[in-house]
Structure 1
């Protein structure tokens, strides 16, 4: 391994803001070639249905199937995967599933209404979506945790049917993913992936039912397809690379912090790991830990590229400025590796998930803490939230006017409608005004 030079920044530098902007810059928009390929796939699946999905699956996933029937996984097969797990794996999966379910139960929105003095009733009715599609990456990059995180909140919301798609390149199945689908109560599973799977979910085919919303992570073709079908269906988000920001007071074991930075860097070369600390000597010690521990990592080469190209060690004046920098970054994962994280919490405005205290490794959130690990990336925590039960529920406004209420509000509506020159609106309201 060549010497690893991680970018070091200091908030006292004149060009710190510009350097930070360059560090955070991430262009998630697909290039024109990817867009062209995806558009072609979407149009063909929309027009030809199952036949197009089978053709693309055979071509891209090195399969040789004759029909969609061969690509659907039975509920019995999912249960078989769950029953066949080693006891330790099954126990871990069940523990994680229960914690995720329990957490999300608290998010469930309820319908409400109130009645005014004249008998007018106003309110909101909360209903689950009928059917959602869950995209799960396949092959070696398989994440059973993603199945739980996407399917469980949909189940808690009361979604009628969950359709999962997962590519199986060259027929490679991941038993843990299938087991997680059984445990989470997924209704149907199709062994398809890529833009063709997104198209099948968005438009429906003879075999794959059309869904109301598509959730779950995927590669650039999947992300581009999700963006293209938005409007025909809902989507969760267009996710960028994984990120971690550790705000540390300089008292946590530097090996712990180095490994926390690795935990996101090992996802892929574009992942971003940042440490913010007011103690320059401590930053040096973390750098030494990184150099010491990196050769011990299975994904050493991926971590090295990620750290070299997108990581940073940032020196700030004090913890108050560390929080300021954190809010500017608006990270997907934020670790507050300090003595009293509760003191900093009110000042944190933008973060997907906040891991509080030295013992709270981000990795716990990925698997079994309970909160969702599907989080806003690339600074979008400024305006968006983790995936949750609310993403699978719809809200309808309820409006009921009594005769008296309709008469009184009809006068108000009439004035406003005539002010907008919408005479039919005005007269519709005026019909209900009492003499």
Structure 2
């Protein structure tokens, strides 16, 4: 794993993936085709990309029952406990509608309403992700969303992974479809005969899914444009090299484009972690993926001191941040930009991925500078409530009319003055 000094903070920022012009063209064609031809196009793309012909996209209760038979009872128990942890955490995010009454009788407030429908994309391909089901569905359920639709690409037998179906059932999803890729995003955004359109789409996917979500934004809402997974570890000489190496590789095995970074003021720790990564890499089942990730996007930055190391983290604005230093909690206040922050030796990143409760759908590619993890607010909308009293309008009407005329909007001014005259 390459080691370099922190010389130029600007140079360590990771560029945001926008896809190639060819990829964008493919996505636009798929979106247009699904919008025009609906299920017919959806079947054709499923056969082309997933290599399976489907008479129906809908997952039946029989298929879900079959999935439960394929998974271990112990796994089901773990899913249920993880789901409860996730639910408990997100319930604390709920906020009520509110109103205030002024002395002049004016009532101002905010009405919070859950979205009517949400589509959740669960990636397939190189692995099954039941954790993605829980992290996307449970906050929506907590928020009060009535209709939650899950889509995921089928295998060549026309099935979804048993663990994914079990997680969906445990999370309370009643509408599941075997469709993936940009074509699934199009179906959720525009609707087909089989799949009724939704109001918002959440969930990660490959570059084609990410580009499709970007294209349909405006017709529907989306959570974020998720890039490849990333981890940054802020550590000093008190950290253990073998544990940090394992954490870096936990992200590298996700995707060849995943990013794993260690920032430390200790040259000795940097050298030890570099050697340990190579040692552990050889033993990983997904070592080819992890090796490409480490070679292309893995780096150890050696800082002059802990303050420079902290500032390096803030420039990176990583998706996942582990702080493994002496008195790690004291550094929390200095961290301005990170999606999720794991503090201390025992708070390894997978703890948050699967079980602790906070959401693992996080801002990537430095977008933690201005965005947040997926949360209950993402599944609700807010309406302002304005009840102006007669006294308030008499007191402020002339000011409102003057403001309107300053902007050249005479009809606005007259709408207020009409009431003052009457």
Q: Which TM-score band applies after superposition, normalised by the shorter structure? A: over 0.9
Contact 1:242 1:377 in 2 (8 A): yes
State which of 118, 122, 127 in structure 2 corresponds to 1:132: 118
SS of equivalent to 1:71: coil
Partner of 1:85: 71
Partner of 1:3: none
Q: Which structure 2 residues correspond to residues 108-127 of structure 1 after superposition, within 5 A?
A: 108-127=94-113
State which of 292, 295, 303 in structure 2 corresponds to 1:316: 303
> Is structure 2 residue 29 aligned with structure 1 residue 40?
yes
Q: CA deviation at 1:65?
A: 2.7
Partner of 2:137: 151
> Is structure 2 residue 51 aligned with structure 1 residue 59?
no
State which of 213, 219, 228 in structure 2 corresponds to 1:226: 213
Q: CA deviation at 1:409?
A: 2.4
CA offset digits 1:330-385 (Å, max 9, x no partner): 00000001232221111110000000111110011110010000000010000000
> Is structure 2 residue 419 aligned with structure 1 residue 422?
no
> Is structure 2 residue 283 aligned with structure 1 residue 296?
yes
CA offset digits 1:306-342 (Å, max 9, x no partner): 1111111111122111111110110000000123222
Q: Which structure 2 residues correspond to residues 394-433 of structure 1 after superposition, within 5 A?
A: 394-433=381-420
Q: CA deviation at 1:10?
A: 1.3
SS of equivalent to 2:108: strand
Most deviating of 287-296 and 38-47: 287-296
Partner of 2:17: 28
Q: CA deviation at 1:59?
A: 2.0
CA offset digits 1:180-207 (Å, max 9, x no partner): 1101111200101111111110001112
Query: Structure 2: how far apart are the matches of 1:293 and 1:199?
Result: 41
Partner of 1:210: 197
- Between Structure 1 and Structure 2, how many residues are aligned? 421
Most deviating of 201-210 and 70-79: 70-79
Query: Structure 2: how far apart are the matches of 1:249 and 1:434?
Result: 72
SS of equivalent to 1:125: strand
SS of equivalent to 2:135: helix
SS of equivalent to 2:419: coil
SS of equivalent to 1:132: strand
Partner of 2:4: 9
Q: CA deviation at 1:173?
A: 2.6
Q: CA deviation at 1:80?
A: 4.7
Q: Which structure 2 residues correspond to residues 99-114 of structure 1 after superposition, within 5 A?
A: 99-114=85-100
Q: CA deviation at 1:434?
A: 6.0
SS of equivalent to 1:431: helix
Contact 1:74 1:188 in 2 (8 A): no
- Compared CA separation, residues 342 and 17, structure 1 to 2 (3 A): closer
SS of equivalent to 2:414: helix
Contact 1:99 1:369 in 2 (8 A): yes
Partner of 2:332: 345
Most deviating of 161-170 and 293-302: 293-302
Q: CA deviation at 1:275?
A: 0.7
Query: Structure 2: how far apart are the matches of 1:224 and 1:98?
Result: 33
- Compared CA separation, residues 307 and 91, structure 1 to 2 (3 A): same
Query: Structure 1: how far apart are the matches of 2:385 and 2:350?
Result: 43
Please list every run of 5 or more consecutive structure 2 residues that lacks an aligned counterpart in the other structure.
none
- Compared CA separation, residues 388 and 82, structure 1 to 2 (3 A): farther
Report the TM-score when normalising by structure 1. Answer: 0.94
CA RMSD of aligned residues (A): 1.5
Partner of 2:366: 379
Partner of 2:380: 393
Query: Structure 2: how far apart are the matches of 1:19 and 1:42?
Result: 36
Contact 1:82 1:182 in 2 (8 A): no
Query: Structure 2: how far apart are the matches of 1:151 and 1:82?
Result: 19
Partner of 2:180: 193
Q: CA deviation at 1:18?
A: 5.3
